[in-house]
Structures are given as structure tokens and as C-alpha cells.
Chains A and B, each alone.
Chain A
Amino acid sequence: MISLSETKKILKDNDPKSLECLAQKAKRLTEQYFGHAISLYAPLYLSNYCSSHCIYCGFNNHNRIKRFKLNLDEMRQEMSYIKNKGIENVLLLTGESYKATPLSYLKDAVTTAKDFFTSISLEVHPMDEKDYHELFLNGADGLTIYQETYDRKRYKQVHVSGKKADYDYRRETPKRAAKAGFRHISLGILLGLSVVADDLWALYKHLAEMEKSFPAVEYSLSFPRLRPIKGENFALCDVDDKTFIKIIALTRTLFPRVGINLSTREPAYLRDHALGLGITRISAESNTSVGGYTLQSPDVQEPQFDIKDNRSVKEIIRALKHRGFDPVLTDWRRIDNR
């Protein structure tokens, strides 16, 4: 396990030669363990109701936005649209409202998604092990749960109220999900929310703990960069492209077999160049508004974050092939988890 001071030293180092050297090593390791395969997925926002007040999030309960929750017919319509684009791996997302999107709603969503997709992951409010187990038995295989920041003080500042304000419950969430049976667990931090090196190191420590306690889980990491909401910037620091690429490459060298995700939050040119350096899974043709694929016209949509890479699934597949990568649409064939 790398030390905090070593992590800080690497992130501070501005020598282009060191970065190039790290990138070359990351490229070799990525090829060795993942070859040229890049998995594709798409997010599907089911609801933007949220009972937490997280100051950096577009869905927070103090934001006066129109709230929507898809019913089963609407879900089917959105799912059918994504499926027709070629997507087999879906990430179902909600705001964190236990009331608006309870377990029963999520179970229905997973059951509906089974008609369309071979692999279903969730990014929803954290819950207890028994609830996660029900979702796993129903057919959900993956869970995304970001701590956002591991700095307790900063965590408290930005998570003002609601269930998400409970730091420890959130940090223990991956353990409960692993105990419940989930195959894929994705951890992450929101880059810029706090001191980057501290958060990155804490994330590595969290991952190392999880690998030791739950070795059967396939892990992946995400490093979304915090973006302004409607012009307001909540970041403590900006994470420039050099640092961002360094984080991806460093992560690959420290955890050679762990997946690294990259969303459409990042622009196409950066995504394309980051591919060989450690990225193993990317989203494609995403929309981050509830009903954004087929139900809401773009002028009334309230996205959780703005999309920077607007290419279609077809265009991304073409770009991947052009760069010598094999786009993987099916990366899991669901089996009965019961």
C-alpha cells in the first residue's frame, strides 16, 4: 500500500518525464491485464427526488427543480431506447430519497431492466444488507457508491442534511453490498471536493480494505471531476487534465487488475487519450436527466451534471475501433442469483 506522503509527492511532481514514465507503465499494465477491451455502459436516471442536501449536487433537496420519477411504462420506454442503441450494461440511478424510491420501486426497476439488459448495476441511496440482498436476488449485479470525500470535516460541510450526512453509514456501504452478494462494486471520489491527494489515498486505503475482506468482488474506481452547477463552483481546487491523467495512471500501477471508469462528464478528446492509460469502462451517449432519453425535451431537462462527450454509441464504437480497442457491449450474462 502506497503511503500518503508518497501519494502527495507523486501528485505534486510537475516533471513531464515522470508523468510520461508513469503513463507508459500504466499502459503496459492495462494491456497485460485487460488487453484491448473497453466495456460500454449507459446510465438511466429513474428519479431526481432527493431527501439529502449536498451542496454540490444538482438534485439536492434545496434546488428548485422539477422532480420526476419514472413509472414502469416510462422505464420500459427509456430502457428500450437505450437497448436499441446497443447497450447491454445499464446503470440505474436515482436521487437519494428513501420515500420516493423505496426498495419496492427499485426491485420493480431491476425486474423491468431484466427484459432489456444482460447486466444491471445500481447507483441509489445506501441501504442495509438485507435490502441489498433482495436487489441482488432480483437480478442486480453491480453497485456504484461514492464516498465523494473521505475528509470528515469537509464531508460534513458539503453534506448538510439528510441520510447522506451520515459519513460512517456511507463508508460502510460497500461492505454491506459485498456481504449481500454484489459481484461488481464501484468506489469513487468527487475530485476537487477536498484535498485531492488525501482523498485519493483514502480511496486506495478503502479499496485495499475491501479487497482483503471481500476478495471475490470485482472492483472498479471512478474519479469524476466536480463541475459547477448553474455557474456556481463548489470545488476547493481545480483538478487539471495533467493531474487527472496522473491519477488514472497512478491508480493503474497500484491496482493493476482493478477496473477504472470514465463518464461522459469528460470531453471526447480527453476520454480518447485516457483509454490506453488505465480506463476499462466508459459510458456512452449518456443523458443525466430523468426521462432525458425519450420523455423530456432538452429545453426542460434538469441534468445531474452536464455531458461533455455527446457522441452516439455508434460513434464511440467507431472511435474505439479506430484507436485499436475492442468495444465490449456484453461483459456479463446474468445468471439466476437465487
Chain B
Amino acid sequence: MISKKSDSLIIAGKKFQSRFLLGTGKFRNKSDVKSCINSSGTQIVTVALRRVDVERHEENILKYIPKNVTLLINTSGARNAKEAVRIAHLAKESGCGNWIKIEVINDSKYLLPDNFETIKAAEQLVKDGFIVLPYVSPDLNVARELVKVGSSTVMPLGSLIGSRQGIRTKELIQILIDEIDVPIIVDAGIGAPSQAAEAMEMGADAVLINTAVATALDPVAAAKSFALAITAGRLAHLSGMAQRAASAQASSPLTGFLYEQS
């Protein structure tokens, strides 16, 4: 039996039991964020620095995130590497720690990340001592470059942000899972627990969800359902189920004739 304890997600040397990362935008109210953290057991939560209301205690999202949860600040609003680096430093100065999800978006219509600027930002932020988790369009060369400059994960998008279309970039993400040695966290586009399970069955290390939970009629139940699906997908992956399917033996071997006696 696979032990949950021995199957930790390790990012930059830090161990996590949960493989569910939760985004905090789009919720009806901030107390729902806290309830979702509790119901899902998530241990990493992303917050956009642009929305952190440091001066107003009641409206400050940070107040709703338990201390034992790792805060992952995202650089939403950055249009290039320079701006992402500045936002990361502002986050650190504001007491939000040094875990940064790099989000460089130069396209307000589709909200697709700018991979080139993301690499530049990652390189600088790693040099500046940040733990860097970059959000990218899935591309093997980009992922290799990100690892080379010291990124702690690669976070490829499943489909367009907020689209809830599931894993439309499956083949490309599978290549990253197979070839990249840092954790692969599927981010964006996952709209149902079944899609989160699919990512995990493929061998993704974790999944980040926001819209599907925040806009559900019952976000707390939705968060829990994703957590269960992610656990189920992970177990399925570890069980070897997927690999067995991929390497199933044909009932009529094609090379059997070589061993037949004449």
C-alpha cells in the first residue's frame, strides 16, 4: 500500500502532503477562502499582490490565510520581466515572503503568459534569493531553460485561464512530466475534479485551481471535491495503472513468429 506520508510533494526542499494549490481570486467573500483552505487541506495558496490590501485589516486577504499555509505571491499585472521582478520585491518588502509565482502576461485578450519574459524574470529572481514557480505555456525548451536558471517548479497551463476547458495541452504537458526533473504543477483551465484527476493520473506533481472553486455555488464543497480527485489521481498514477495501460500486451504478438519452430 502506498503511504501518503512517504509521498510528499517537495518544492525547494519543503515537504507538502497536499498536492492541491488554491488560487484566491474571484471568491464571493474572503471568509470562503479560509473555509476552502480548511475543507481541502491545501498547504499552498496563491495571492495576487495587486489585491493585497495591507492597510485595511478587514479586507486584507492575508488575514484569512492560516499561518501554517505557504503563501505564494503571484505577479499578476506584470507585463514584462522587469515589472515581475519589481512586484516580487514589493511583495517581500510587504512581508509576504519569498515564494513567487511568476506570471508575466502581455496579452489581455487571452491572458497567455509570455514565456520569454518569464525566463528572464525567473533568472533574476532566483539570483535575488526568491523561490520561483513560473507559470508558462507548456514548451519543453522553455521548461529546460527555467530549470537551468533555478526555478523550483514549472507550472504549465492546461488551457486558457478561467476557461474551465480542462487539459487541452495534454501532449505538451506529458512531455514536461516525462522530461523535467522539478515538480510539474498544472495551472489554469481546470474546471472539474475529473480534469484535475486526469492531470494527476498523467503524472503531474500537483494542480492549481481557482475559478472552478471560487465560482461554484458551494465553494467549500467544490474545494473538497478537487482535493479528493487530486488524491485519487495521484494514487492512480502511483499504482501503475496508467503505465500498465500504455504498455498493455497485445493478445497476438507481432514478433511471436520469430520464436515459432519451423
Q: Which residues on A are within 8 Å of B, measured CB to CB?
A: 31-37, 86, 88, 183, 211, 215-219, 257-258, 321, 324-333, 335-336
- Contact present for A325 and B52 (CB under 8 Å): no
- Contact present for B49 and A333 (CB under 8 Å): yes
In the complex, residue of chain A having the shortest beta-carbon distance to the beta carbon of B60 = A330
Contact of B77 among A33, A183, A325 (CB under 8 A): A183
| B30 touches A (CB below 8 Å) | yes
In the assembled complex, the CB of A4 is this many whole angstroms from the nearest CB of chain B, namely 22
- Contact present for A31 and B83 (CB under 8 Å): no
Interface centre among B27, B87, B162 (most CB of A within 10 A): B162
Roughly how many angstroms separate A321 CA and B90 CA in the complex, as a whole number?
29
- Contact present for B215 and A35 (CB under 8 Å): yes
Q: Of residues 132 to 178 in B, which have CB atoms within 8 Å of A's CB atoms?
A: 162-164
Chain A neighbourhood of B109, CB < 8 A: 211, 215, 257
Q: Provided the pairs A37-B25, A333-B50, A336-B86 are in contact, do residues A216 and B106 lie with their beta carbons within 8 angstroms? A: yes
One digit per residue, 1 when the CB lies within 8 angstroms of any chain A CB and 0 when it does not, for chain B 67-108 equals: 000000000010100010011001000100000000001111
Contact of B108 among A211, A327, A331, A333 (CB under 8 A): A211
Chain B neighbourhood of A326, CB < 8 A: 27-30
| B111 touches A (CB below 8 Å) | yes
| B26 touches A (CB below 8 Å) | yes
Roughly how many angstroms separate A331 CA and B49 CA in the complex, as a whole number?
9
Chain B neighbourhood of A216, CB < 8 A: 79, 105-108
Chain A neighbourhood of B56, CB < 8 A: 86, 329-330
Chain B neighbourhood of A325, CB < 8 A: 28
| B63 touches A (CB below 8 Å) | no
Interface centre among A219, A258, A333 (most CB of B within 10 A): A333
- Contact present for B53 and A183 (CB under 8 Å): no
Roughly how many angstroms separate A258 CA and B109 CA in the complex, as a whole number?
8
Chain B neighbourhood of A336, CB < 8 A: 86
A-B contact sample (9 more), CB < 8 A, given A32-B163, A217-B108: A183-B79, A216-B107, A326-B29, A327-B59, A328-B51, A329-B59, A330-B53, A331-B51, A333-B52
One digit per residue, 1 when the CB lies within 8 angstroms of any chain A CB and 0 when it does not, for chain B 168-208 equals: 00000000000000000000000000000000000000000
Chain A neighbourhood of B106, CB < 8 A: 215-216
Contact of B215 among A36, A183, A217, A328 (CB under 8 A): A36
- Contact present for B83 and A335 (CB under 8 Å): yes
Q: Provided the pairs A257-B111, A331-B50, A335-B87 are in contact, do residues A32 and B164 lie with their beta carbons within 8 angstroms? A: yes
Q: Provided the pairs A37-B25, A330-B52, A335-B83 are in contact, do residues A32 and B211 lie with their beta carbons within 8 angstroms? A: yes
Roughly how many angstroms separate A37 CA and B50 CA in the complex, as a whole number?
13
| B227 touches A (CB below 8 Å) | no
Roughly how many angstroms separate A215 CA and B114 CA in the complex, as a whole number?
12
In the complex, residue of chain A having the shortest beta-carbon distance to the beta carbon of B29 = A326
- Contact present for A33 and B51 (CB under 8 Å): no
- Contact present for A34 and B111 (CB under 8 Å): no
Contact of A36 among B26, B90, B105 (CB under 8 A): B26
Roughly how many angstroms separate A215 CA and B106 CA in the complex, as a whole number?
6
Chain B neighbourhood of A218, CB < 8 A: 108
Roughly how many angstroms separate A35 CA and B25 CA in the complex, as a whole number?
7
In the assembled complex, the CB of A325 is this many whole angstroms from the nearest CB of chain B, namely 7
| B214 touches A (CB below 8 Å) | yes
Roughly how many angstroms separate A124 CA and B213 CA in the complex, as a whole number?
41
In the assembled complex, the CB of B105 is this many whole angstroms from the nearest CB of chain A, namely 8
Roughly how many angstroms separate A335 CA and B164 CA in the complex, as a whole number?
31
Roughly how many angstroms separate A227 CA and B30 CA in the complex, as a whole number?
38
A-B contact pairs, 13 of them (CB 8 A): A34-B26, A36-B215, A37-B25, A86-B56, A215-B107, A325-B28, A326-B27, A327-B59, A330-B56, A331-B50, A333-B87, A333-B90, A335-B87
Chain B neighbourhood of A32, CB < 8 A: 162-164, 211, 215
Contact of B86 among A35, A327, A335 (CB under 8 A): A335
Roughly how many angstroms separate A335 CA and B49 CA in the complex, as a whole number?
11
- Contact present for A257 and B83 (CB under 8 Å): no
In the assembled complex, the CB of B217 is this many whole angstroms from the nearest CB of chain A, namely 10
In the complex, residue of chain A having the shortest beta-carbon distance to the beta carbon of B49 = A333
Roughly how many angstroms separate A88 CA and B59 CA in the complex, as a whole number?
12
In the assembled complex, the CB of B187 is this many whole angstroms from the nearest CB of chain A, namely 16
Roughly how many angstroms separate A37 CA and B215 CA in the complex, as a whole number?
11
